[in-house]
Every structure is written in structure tokens, then in C-alpha cells.
Chain A
Amino acid sequence: MSIYKRAQQWTTFTRVWHLFDAKWQNPFESAKIIQKYLAGLHKPIYGPSADTGDHVVVINSKEIALPGDEWQKRVYFHHTGFAGGASWTFAWELHEKDPTLVLKKAIYNSMKGNLYRHTKMERLHIYPDANVPQEILENVTNQIRRPRLIPKRLDEYSEEEVEKFPKLIDYPEDYVIQKIK
């Protein structure tokens, strides 16, 4: 192999670092997208054993949004292996303990259970907020688009915009509007 061809091989198989902002995103929906980048499915040279996967840096995993009442209903099971060692943790409990775990498990479960799964998971870097170490962030050259828009809260609109908005009804005088802190 000539020097030129070897360099060409390196360029083709270069690992790209992608960034994903998980703010207000459904982790199970995002997992399907992120998993493709980790496996390299977005590349034309993809092969299951060709090791074409990329790195994905996920930020703001603390602000993920589970659909419906999944925070209360979703349960993560763990068994220590000893008698009576079973434990069930609610999604909200797990999220309080480690705000990266719900997303991490969602991505892990979205992948096929084969020997490549651990290698692919090694290339996933999840951070609970936007504070990413410089040595990680400087590698990033691409951003993955989030599947959904971030909804805007009422208190985030200016008063002028609220005034201009067409009103369907007037609240009754004794109606108490809860203030968002």
C-alpha cells in the first residue's frame, strides 16, 4: 500500500465527533438517532464489523423529557444476585441519582445485544449539563439535530407578545393563575 493510499484509508475511516443537545428531548426517540451515529450507519462505508462508528457527545441530559407519566411509571430493575436482592427504581429516582443514566440505558437498550455493543457504548459521552471538558469539546465537528422543538413556556414570552396573542376567553375574576418560579 502506497503512502497516498494509506492516508486515504485514514481519511475514510476518520472518527467524527458529534454533539447532541438532549434538552427537552424524549430519550427513547433520541436513542434511536444517536445509536445510528455510534454504529456508523449514517456513512456509505458502513459495515457491521467494519468499526465505522463515531463518537457522540450528549449534553444537557439532566433536562430530558419523558413522554406522558413515564417518570412515575417507568421502572428500572436490578438484581444483586443474592436472595432478596431484587430492586426496582423509578425513572425519576434514577434520574435524581444520576441524570445521565436514563438516557444511557435508553441508548444501550436501543442497540442490538451483540459483542459490538460495548465498543459502541465506549464512544458515547453523556454530560448532565453544558459543562463539557475542553479536551472533549474541541474534537466536536458536527451537531446532530434534535428530533423535536424545545417548547417555550408562557413566562418566557414578553408581555407584548402575550398581549398581542388572540384571546379565546377571558379568565373569570376569581381565577387563580399559578406563578412559575
Chain B
Amino acid sequence: MSNNNLFLPVGFPRAPLANGVGRWICQLQRLTFKFCKNYPSSRGMREFLEFELLDFTKKNPGIVVYVKPRRHRAPNLTAEYLNGEKQIVDCRNFSYEEVKKWVSLLRSQSGRGTVRLLKMWHTDHPSIQGPWSPFVNRDPKLNWVEFPNEDLSQPIYIEKSATEKLIEIFEEQQRIERQPKQE
């Protein structure tokens, strides 16, 4: 990992306007294919325009597609998104398949750009029962107790002392003695 990654904007995965819940709005609004008609670096792009573009536009009527030939310059894909972001993909020497994959990526992403994900998940409601505080699950009786309080100071588990055990044995002995003897 290079240090550059540390200075990426950080964030959580999220869908803009709850996209995909109930309805889905394509975030890609405008896609411009810039290419050269002669240069071999635009070959993949030209193949895409020839074989794939019309199918692409038919499948995605919501995306405005511009095709912009320009002489003797490297090809690129310029994508403009609903949130105002603009992404440019340099497509120099890209094959037909590569262009197809990049177009598919630009179409399906939200246009938020690259962020360093702090977690692989995000929720607006991390806890249903709410955050803990010292007053959670506290016995309301404690509100009118006066401190120091002797009862609250006693240990919860009290082991029987030797004296108490002795008294128990003694009482048991007395009980047996009091019973009528069987003969």
C-alpha cells in the first residue's frame, strides 16, 4: 500500500437517496466517447461504437450519449453523474472488451469517486435499543435511597460461616432426637 491511499477521502458505503430501495435511478446521466478515427490507440473504442453503442443506448434510454471524434488525440470516456461529478477514463490502446467493461462500470456506479472505506458496511441505526448510559436498566428504587445505605452495602453472596453450619447440625440433631424411636 502506498502512502497515497492514506490521503484518499474516507467514507462508508452508501447509496445516494436510498437508491435501489423500491426504485432505482441510474446515476450516470451523460456519457461522451472521445476518439480519433485514424489512430490505432482508438481502435477498441471504434469497435465498441460500431458493434455495441446502439444496443447500449437502447438498453439505457436515461443516459445521454455523445460521440465526439477528434483528430490525432487519445480516446477517453467522460461520464457525468447526477450528483454533478465528472469522471474521465483514459482509454488509450484499450481493446474492445476493456472499453465495454469500463462503460459498464461507469454506468453502474454512483459517481461518488474513489473513497477509502472505513468499514465494509454502514447503518444509520447502529443500535435499536439506543446507546448505553449509566441510567439504563437502573432500578428506579435507587432514586430515593439515602446514602450511605447499609442494605446496598451488603455482599450479595454470603457464604455460610462455620458457626451457622454448626447451628444447622445442632438443630438437625435436636430434630432427630425428638422423633419417636422405631423398635
Contact = CB atoms under 8 A, between A and B. Distances in A.
Contact of A21 (B133, B134, B153, B156): B153
Contact of B155 (A44, A45, A142, A149): A149
B92 to A, nearest CB: 47
Which of A8, A142, A146 lies at the interface centre, i.e. has the most chain B CB atoms within 10 A of its CB?
Answer: A142
B177 to A, nearest CB: 13
Contact of A137 (B133, B147, B166, B170): B147
B158 interface: yes
Which of B134, B135, B170 lies at the interface centre, i.e. has the most chain A CB atoms within 10 A of its CB?
Answer: B134
B132 interface: yes
Nearest to A138: B147
B1 interface: no
A16 interface: yes
Contacts of B167: 165-166
Contact of B154 (A45, A140, A149, A165): A149
Q: Decide if the interface of chain B is mainly helix, strand, loop or mixed.
A: loop
B17 interface: no
Nearest to B173: A166
Contacts of B156: 145
Contact of A12 (B133, B149, B152, B153): B133
A130 B134 contact: no
B149 A143 contact: yes
Nearest to B133: A11
Interface in B100-139: 131-135
Interface residues of A, number: 25
B162 interface: no
Chain B: interface residue count, which band? Answer: 10 to 19
A145 B147 contact: no
B142 A141 contact: yes
Nearest to A140: B147
B9 interface: no
A11 B130 CA distance: 12
Contact of A43 (B132, B148, B149): B132
A43 B134 contact: yes
A147 interface: yes
Interface string A90-111: 0000000000000000000000
A148 interface: yes
Interface in B145-165: 147-149, 152-156, 158
A19 interface: yes
10 contacts: A11-B133, A14-B135, A16-B134, A43-B132, A44-B132, A130-B148, A140-B147, A141-B147, A145-B156, A147-B155
Interface of B: 131-135, 142, 147-149, 152-156, 158, 166-167, 170
